[in-house]
Amino acid sequence: MPSEKEKMLAGEPYDPSDPELVAARKRANELTRRYNQSDPADDAARQSLLQDLFGTVGQEPHVELPFRCDYGENVHVGDGFYANFDCVVLDVCRVEIGDDCLLGPGVHVYTATHPLDPDERRGGAEYGKPVTLGDNVWVGGQAVVNPGVTVGDDAVIAAGAVVTDDVPAGVVVQGNPATVVREIDADGH
């Protein structure tokens, strides 16, 4: 029989009050607390904390303070990752962020969701769907990326967009729900 953590990572309904999951969230809370209270000039300490918090970390990540996440270990960032102030990642499932991705201030990435049926919701079950951001993705300030979304390489998500569906590579999306407003040409325009 799979553990609650295994069910969570597989996107199946799981019990968030499971002791293993509670301990993992407490660990992430402690690491994010320490990160958020770290000296911004102490790059070595901050890099070490990100290495401990995230599942995998590429070269030269930079995460502005404050930052929040559920577990941290389900967040995987590539080289040159940058997250501006006040970013939140609810990582009950895998969050894969490619190389040279930029998150503007207040960006939220959600893998966590709840059953639509009110009886199931009252019962406390939760589940999630993984999120993937390709290489060279720029997510503008206060945008929200919802569970199960994949964003293609070189895409731009405009500030304030609410992304509910997959985003093709090389496009700009905006609005709520986010829709493609234009393609990015070979010159990056």
Q: Active-site positions? A: 114
Unique residue bearing structure tokens 């599942």: 55
Cβ neighbours around 6 below 10 Å, total: 12
Q: What would you report as the CA-atom Rg of the chain, rounded to the nearest whole angstrom?
A: 17
Polymer length in residues for the chain? 189
| DSSP structure class, residue 66 | P
**70 φ, ψ to 5°?**
-80, -55
What does the angle CA 11 – CA 12 – CA 17 come to, to the nearest 5 degrees? 105
